[in-house]
Amino acid sequence: MTKQRVLTGITTSGTPHLGNYVGAIRPAIESSRANDVESFFFLADYHALIKAQDPELIHRSTMEIAATWLALGLDTDKVTFYRQSDIPEITELTWFLTCMTAKGLMNRAHAYKAAVQANEDAGEDADFAITMGLFSYPVLMAADILMFNAHQIPVGRDQIQHVEMARDVAQRFNHHFGEHFVLPKALVDDKVAVLQGLDGRKMSKSYGNTIPLFLNEKALKKHINKINTNLLEPGEPKDPDTSAVFQIWQAFATEQQTLEMREQFANGIGWGEAKRQLFELVNGELSEARARYEALMQTPSEIEQILQEGAVKARRESSAFLATLRHAVGIRPLA
């Protein structure tokens, strides 16, 4: 039986936070250890260009995200770990797929529609500040996925539509040029927590409510202390299910520890004490990885070397596959 291929990417336009860790990176690394899967994890730096035009930010974020995966124990011998822009076949495939993508399909993409809506709400022209990069974003993502014929794509809910679009485009390509592509499926894990941020909304860079993953202890403590709480005093029972403190606790705790914290909430644990315990728990899980992260961030050449090796491994596949695809569409040597 062929192994299931699992593929996912992270856009390099920010600093990894606890929400990325709990919702994406931790489960991805865990699942990559199984024997019946082949994992492809990559740094989506071409996607970053769609959102960010700050070269320093993109460069720094690429390093931070790579160091994060490595510090958390990703086994790069088992997994194929690479930077999107090191694989030129992905951009070449993007063009083949662009020519197989109905414009009407892209008109329906949520991210694009939201941008148009925001323009209309602001009384602007519908196309104001919308680039072709944003419009074509799902095609680039389809190329990421189809390049390696991945079966399963672990993503957040907001990305399901993009995976379905990749599937549509793959189907159309297969219909025209032969069965080259596996049809990918989005994998949304309901057990994985969507973490709340400091203000209780979903933890997200765009809300500015994140707790960065590898803050030093002092800064981590400070961020945890900033998590929004209500005005209940120590001794007054508190509702765990509406508390971001409890929700983050749950994402790091064992079942037993979660039950115990539930009880402490019922018994009126003070917010200060709850946050102190939360800090201890989170810090305990992250402190070793943090030390590795800090060391890696001091030695970018080491990270670069690992990415280069990942690119060689990835390109062994992508260059052979792209040769087949070029031939399939009629781009062939004349003699």
Structure tokens at 168: 């549509």
Region from 139-147, 170-178, 212-220, 311-319 binding ligand TRP, contact rule CB under 6 A = 139-147
Which listed residue (12, 61, 159, 247) binds ligand TRP by CB under 6 A?
159
Smallest separation, CB 153 to ligand TRP (Å) = 5
Phi, psi of 102 (to 5 degrees): -70, 135
Smallest separation, CB 9 to ligand TRP (Å) = 4
Nearer to ligand TRP by C-beta: 155 or 244? 155
Is residue 277 within 8 A of residue 258, CB to CB? The reply is no
Is residue 105 within 8 A of residue 168, CB to CB? The reply is yes
Nearer to ligand TRP by C-beta: 5 or 290? 5
Which listed residue (144, 169, 227, 314) binds ligand TRP by CB under 6 A?
144
Smallest separation, CB 91 to ligand TRP (Å) = 13
| 3-state helix, strand and coil shares in percent for the chain, rounded to the nearest 5 | 60, 10, 30
Smallest separation, CB 41 to ligand TRP (Å) = 9
Cα–Cα distance, 224 to 241 (Å, whole number) = 18
Cα–Cα distance, 158 to 148 (Å, whole number) = 22
Smallest separation, CB 111 to ligand TRP (Å) = 9
Q: Using CB under 6 A as the criterion, what x/- string covers residues 296-315 for binding ligand TRP?
A: --------------------
Nearest to 303 by CA among 93, 9, 116, 60: 60
Nearest to 85 by CA among 191, 11, 149: 11
Number of residues that bind ligand TRP (CB under 6 A): 12
Structure tokens at 26: 């931790």
Which listed residue (50, 65, 72, 155) binds ligand TRP by CB under 6 A?
155
Region from 25-33, 137-145, 224-232, 280-288 binding ligand TRP, contact rule CB under 6 A = 137-145
Sign, CA dihedral 38-43-49-51, equals positive
Nearest to 278 by CA among 259, 261, 290, 255: 261
Region from 8-16, 191-199, 213-221, 323-331 binding ligand TRP, contact rule CB under 6 A = 8-16
Region from 4-12, 52-60, 212-220, 313-321 binding ligand TRP, contact rule CB under 6 A = 4-12
Smallest separation, CB 334 to ligand TRP (Å) = 35
Nearest to 141 by CA among 178, 102, 174, 169: 169
Nearest to 192 by CA among 153, 223, 157: 157
Which listed residue (5, 8, 80, 195) binds ligand TRP by CB under 6 A?
8
Please list every residue from 9 through 48 that binds ligand TRP, using CB under 6 A: 9, 11, 44, 47
Nearer to ligand TRP by C-beta: 92 or 144? 144
CA dihedral 151, 157, 158, 159 (to 10 degrees): 0
Nearer to ligand TRP by C-beta: 108 or 332? 108
Query: Which spans of this chain sit near ligand TRP (rule: CB under 6 A)?
Result: 7-9, 11, 44, 47, 141, 144-145, 153, 155, 159
